[in-house]
Each structure stands twice: as structure tokens, then as C-alpha cells.
Amino acid sequence: MEGTAVRGRLTWQTATVGAVTDETSSVRTLSLVLPGWAGHRAGQHLDIRLTGDDGYQAERSYSIASAPGEPVAITVERLDDGEVSPYLTEDVQIGDEFEVRGPIGGYFVWDGDASDSVPLLLAAGGSGVVPLRAMLRHRSRIGSSVPVRLLYSVRSQAEVIYRSELSSPADGVEVIYTLTRKQPPGWTGYARRVDQKMMAEVAWPVASGPLAYVCGPTNFVEAVASDLVALGYPPQRVKTERFGATGTP
Amino acid sequence: MSPISRGFHRRHQEAEPAGRVPPGQYVTHDFPVLSAGPTPHTRLTDWTFSIEGGQSPVSWSWQEFQALPQETVTVDIHCVTRWSKLDTSWKGVSLDVLLGAVSYTAPYVLAFCDGGYTTNLPVADLLGGKAWVAYSYDGSALPAEHGGPARLLVPHLYFWKSAKWVRGLRLRDTDVPGFWETYGYHMYGDPWKEQRYAGD
Amino acid sequence: MRLLEDNVLDGNAIGGMLIEVFGAEMTTAVGTCGVCGTRGQVAEMAVYQPRLGTVVRCRVCDNVLMVFVAMHGVTCVDLRGLDSLV
């Protein structure tokens, strides 16, 4: 059985916001101080719980943006009609507290050990890049040389999360963008929503036995996963994590 | 004790018009879409509404349904997930008209729907101008995500009883739990008595 | 196989709740649909969250596999749609 970082029941622990980084005008990374944290695997998520002074509580799940061994960080996108994301992306200050439980997830994980040393195809739709970024950082930290292609579908360059980090990827990592709504002058890259033709050009050949991780809004994941299976990827080699509906493409 | 997250507060803090909102509810101006399964897309040419379990089964096609007496009503609706929406406008056919076409003695119905959803109600709660099969909301055709082509509309009970994608009623001698009732929701669902879960 | 609608999630989204209810990581557990026999990991099942409860359905035939309803501080679980969950 694959190892997990979770044994038995999860408990809520208090997290303190240690640092705040604005990734884009609507996306922020919060680095957390979590003394009781037992460690995590790349791709896992955590649940957070906020409590208002009237006792009202709200819970949400966020992918862990940092690699195992780094301070726990989450990257949050502000949703216009959200209840929690506006608070986390606009109001939260260093020193603020909320509760966290985790890490959670044994399926959408990449450990980089011997069984995972096949070419990786990472496909991110919008904020789906978050757990994939954790995988990339983990790959660097463990000195892995598996070939990686990250296909990152995003509306415009201004909305690219982790832009400077992704503009100088590690050796063996290739980042391919598709800017679906607005492109800078002179852009020669993809400029449309993912489709089968794009996946055929970007995906590792099936013969190399690749592993694919697809994360983002449900319609993105459904399109990419079905395109990969149509290209011959065995379904069990296409791991998926769906974020539901998060606005228009 | 959970630590307080400084500055965090609930989103919904509407003032509630006195007497119109049942206990534990807040008023919303949205119309949330709550789905327990894939959205059916039934073509009007395939749509029928049936009542089974009476002396003989009765069924209307969409054209026959549109030829029945129609009503436009404005009602408040109350979802068990605590949102209430006031002054919603619907057009449809009254259950008084539909049940009036059937000869029956049964005291209960199980409403059945495209996609497999069901909900149970006493017949008495469908009569006397309290319930409709509604196909138009706010002046436009009811969208599929809100239950179109037609849904049950029973505003005096929690809105899970206003079954989306309704295709008919099965008259029954006993009250059997429908979808949410099977999973623990109240068999009757009176929002003024906060009958949310079984045993409330 | 029909594609899931935009608002539908998968078993990853309820990972925390599953640990609370079952006392173990469950997203890699394999369930067998009681209607069509499809076997699949919980992480890949279709998850609907209409706030009345969480409804987990078979990707292939839409059969309801699991339903979770939180009432009065307790989460009630119904697994009757599954033939097995290991």
C-alpha cells in the first residue's frame, strides 16, 4: 500500500500567517507557521477553518503550494462572490490565525521516488497550477532529473501565478503556456483553450510511459483528461484533481 | 475553542423583513443552484407529466399541459440550507387542476423526476392553491439548472420538496421517503417549525 | 463517458471529510458500483455538493454510490450504492 502522511484522524491545529506574497492582482500566497505540522507530500492539500467573532465558521480546501520540507504555504485566488477568498487575499495580515487540518490526499501526489521516474506531463488550468508547482519545487529539492512538461492554461500573462519562478524553470522542465483570452504583442505561443491537437503536440509520447497530473476547473480537467486518453494514455496514468467552476475562461 | 480569525465575518447579513422569514434563514438576492446529480436536458417533444396510482393513469404532453389553465404566482421560497428568497415569480399549472383530472383516494404522493430524484408529500399539501408545476421563472422559461422544463413548486415547505425536472406523481397509501428524506431529511419539512432533519 | 459539468468535483475535494468519517485516507480506496460494476478510486468519483449533503456518483452510470449528510453535529453516511469499498 502506498504510504500516506496521515495516520488515523485529523485534528485541527492553529496556523499563524507568517508571510504574504501577492502573485497577481487577485492571487496571494500565504506562508504559515504550523508548529504541529507532520510534513506533507507534493500534491496534497489542507483544509482551513475560519471563525468569526460571532462563532460563525467557514471551511475551505487549498492545495499546498510548497514542497515537502519547506514552510507550509497555500496560494489563494480571490473569487468575486467568495466568502473566504476575499478575506484571505485582501484582509489577512501577518500574525492572523486560523485553523488548519492536513495534509490530505493520497491520490494526487508525486513523490519522485524510483517508481515515479517517468516523464511527467503536468497540465494546469488557472489556479490548478498550485499543487503542480509543489511537485516542481519538490523535484528540484530532491535533485530529480525526470523530464517534465508543464502545460499552463491561463487567461492572460497578467494572471500567471509564480511567473518569475516559472520563467526560469529547472533543467529538464519545460513550461508551455496557452493564453486563452489575451496575448501580449508578438506572442507566438498557444492562444486558445486546450484541445486534442494541442495535447497531441504537447504530451509526451505514450511509448515513454508518462504520468500525467491534470488540475484546474472541472471543464479543463475533463477536456485534458479525455484528450490524453484519446491519445492512448492509460486512464490510470492520468491523475486528476477538479476545482469545480471558477469563472469564465 | 477555535481561535478567532481577526476580521472574518459571514457573508450574509441581510436585515429580514419581520414575519416573512422562517427561523434560522437569511434572505438572498441570488438564486443558488444546488445539484445532487447531472442536469437532465429533456426535450419538450419527449416531456410528459403523469399521475399514476389513481383509478387510471393520466398523462399530459407539453402541448396538452400548456392548454391547461395557467397561473402566475409570486411566492417566497425557503431552502433548508438557510437561504430564503422573497417575491419570486413563477408561471405554471396548479396541482388542483392536475389532481382534479384524476379519481383517487390515496393520501400521499411520491414525485418522480428526470435524473432519478424523488420527494414525498401529503396530497393535502398539494391542494388548495398551495402547489404548482412551474415552467417559467421570473418571466422566462425555467432554465435546466433550476429544474426546467418544469419543476414542482410547493413554497410552504422547504424547497427540496419543490422537485426539479418533475415528470409526475405516484399516488400512494403510505408515505415513503424520497431522495433527501431517505438520507435523513424530514419527511414533511415545514420551515416555520424548522423541520430540517428526521426527528426535528 | 460523458464529461462532468462545471460545478462537479471529485473525491479529492472531500478527502478531509472522508478521513473524519472513516478514520483513514480514502481517496485511493477502490469502490465498485452496485449498478454497473465499474471499479474506480474514490478520487475519481463524481462529487456533487448541493449543501444539503455530499452525493458521490459513479462516473459511468451516475448511480449514487455514497451520500453524506451532516445533521446536528453528526455526519450520517450511506454507502448502499457501493458493492464494495476497499
pLDDT score at B10: 87
Give mean pLDDT, residues C45-55: 96
* ipTM for the complex shown: 0.96
Round to whole Å and give the CA distance between B78 and B156: 8
- CB contacts of A84 in chain B (<8 Å) are 8
Round to whole Å and give the CA distance between A190 and A152: 10
C-alpha cell at A2: 502506498
C-alpha cell at A154: 491561463
Q: How many domains does chain A have?
A: 2
Q: Say if residue A228 is in the same domain as residue A126.
A: yes
**Considering A72, A104, A136, which residue would you say is the last residue of a domain?**
A104
Chain B's closest residue to C57, CA to CA, is B37
Q: Say if residue A134 is in the same domain as residue A98.
A: no
Comparing CB atoms, the residue among B3, B9, B11 nearest residue A99 is: B3
Residue at A83 is within a domain: yes
Residue at A100 is within a domain: yes
Q: Which amino acid is at B27?
A: V
Round to whole Å and give the CA distance between A126 and A130: 9
Round to whole Å and give the CA distance between B95 and A223: 43
**Neighbouring chains of C at 3+ CB pairs within 8 Å?**
A, B
pLDDT class of B1 with cuts at 50, 70, 90: confident
Among B residues 9-48, those touching chain A with beta carbons less than 8 Å apart: 9-11
- CB contacts of A92 in chain B (<8 Å) are 7
Is C25 close to A45, i.e. CB distance below 8 A? no
**CB pairs < 8 Å spanning A and B:** 46
Q: Which amino acid is at B125?
A: D
Residue at A119 is within a domain: yes
* CA distance, residue A136 to nearest chain B CA (Å): 32
Round to whole Å and give the CA distance between A77 and C6: 18
pLDDT at C35 over 70: yes
Q: Say if residue A96 is in the same domain as residue A150.
A: no
pLDDT score at B152: 98
Query: Is the separation of the CB atoms in B160 and B80 below 8 Å?
Result: yes
C-alpha cell at A149: 512538461
Round to whole Å and give the CA distance between A74 and A65: 5
Residue at A49 is within a domain: yes
Tell me the CA distances in angstroms from B199 to A176, B80, B181, B185, B190, one per residue in order: 56, 15, 11, 9, 12
Residue at A75 is within a domain: yes
**Considering A82, A104, A126, which residue would you say is the last residue of a domain?**
A104
**Neighbouring chains of B at 3+ CB pairs within 8 Å?**
A, C
Which domains are seen in chain B, by residue range? 47-175 (3.90.420.10)
Residue at A2 is within a domain: no
Round to whole Å and give the CA distance between A27 and A30: 10
Is B34 close to C52, i.e. CB distance below 8 A? yes
Tell me the CA distances in angstroms from A48 to A12, A59, A66, C9, C40, one per residue in order: 8, 6, 16, 18, 28
φ, ψ at A196 (rounded to 5°): -65, -35
- Any idea which residue has 500574525 for its cell? A95
Query: Is the separation of the CB atoms in A152 and A176 below 8 Å?
Result: yes
Q: Under DSSP, is residue B185 helix (H, G, I), strand (E, B) or coil?
A: strand
pLDDT score at A10: 84
Round to whole Å and give the CA distance between A165 and B21: 52
Q: Say if residue A65 is in the same domain as residue A161.
A: no
- CB contacts of C2 in chain B (<8 Å) are 38
Q: Mutation target for B interface from A56, A60, A85, A89: give the one with most B CBs within 10 A.
A: A56
**CB pairs < 8 Å spanning A and C:** 79
Q: Say if residue A73 is in the same domain as residue A169.
A: no
Q: Say if residue A127 is in the same domain as residue A24.
A: no
Q: Say if residue A118 is in the same domain as residue A238.
A: yes
Round to whole Å and give the CA distance between A110 and A125: 18
Q: Say if residue A21 is in the same domain as residue A49.
A: yes
Q: What angle do CA A76, A78, A79 make, to 5 degrees?
A: 125
Q: Say if residue A86 is in the same domain as residue A199.
A: no
Give mean pLDDT, residues B11-29: 83
Is B36 close to C78, i.e. CB distance below 8 A? no
Round to whole Å and give the CA distance between B92 and B46: 19
Q: Say if residue A86 is in the same domain as residue A118.
A: no
Q: pTM for the complete prediction?
A: 0.94
**CB pairs < 8 Å spanning B and C:** 52
Prior bond to A103 cis, omega within 30? yes
Query: Is the separation of the CB atoms in A173 and A148 below 8 Å?
Result: yes
pLDDT score at B77: 98
Is A53 close to B9, i.e. CB distance below 8 A? yes
Which is nearest to A109 in space by CA: A134, A129, A126? A134
Q: Does A56 touch chain B (CB under 8 A)?
A: yes
- Kindly state the greatest CA–CA separation across chain C: 38
pLDDT score at B14: 64
Can you name the residues that pair with A211 across neighbouring β-strands? A120
**Considering A63, A81, A104, which residue would you say is the last residue of a domain?**
A104
Q: Does B185 touch chain C (CB under 8 A)?
A: yes
Start-to-end CA distance of chain B, whole Å, equals: 27
User: What's the per-residue H, E or C state across chain C?
Assistant: CCCCCCCCEEHHHHHHHHHHHHCCCCCCCEEEECCCCCEEEHHHCEEECCCCCEEEECCCCCCEEEEEEEECCEEEEECCCEEEEC
* Residue A30 belongs to domain with CATH number: 2.40.30.10
Prior bond to B149 cis, omega within 30? yes
Give residue A196's domain range: 114-242
Start-to-end CA distance of chain A, whole Å, equals: 39
Give mean pLDDT, residues B190-197: 98
Q: Say if residue A127 is in the same domain as residue A93.
A: no
Q: Does A176 touch chain B (CB under 8 A)?
A: no
- Tens of pLDDT along chain A (249 residues)? 333 344 446 899 999 999 999 999 999 999 999 998 999 999 999 999 999 998 999 999 999 999 999 999 999 999 988 999 999 999 999 999 999 999 999 999 999 987 667 999 999 999 999 999 999 999 999 999 999 999 999 999 999 999 999 999 999 999 999 999 999 999 999 999 999 999 999 999 999 999 999 999 999 999 999 999 999 999 999 999 999 887 544
Tens of pLDDT, residue by residue over B148-176, are: 999 999 999 999 999 999 999 999 999 99
Q: Does C53 touch chain B (CB under 8 A)?
A: yes
C-alpha cell at A68: 515537502
Q: Say if residue A118 is in the same domain as residue A99.
A: no
Tens of pLDDT, residue by residue over B36-70, are: 999 999 999 999 999 999 999 999 999 999 999 99
Residue at A169 is within a domain: yes
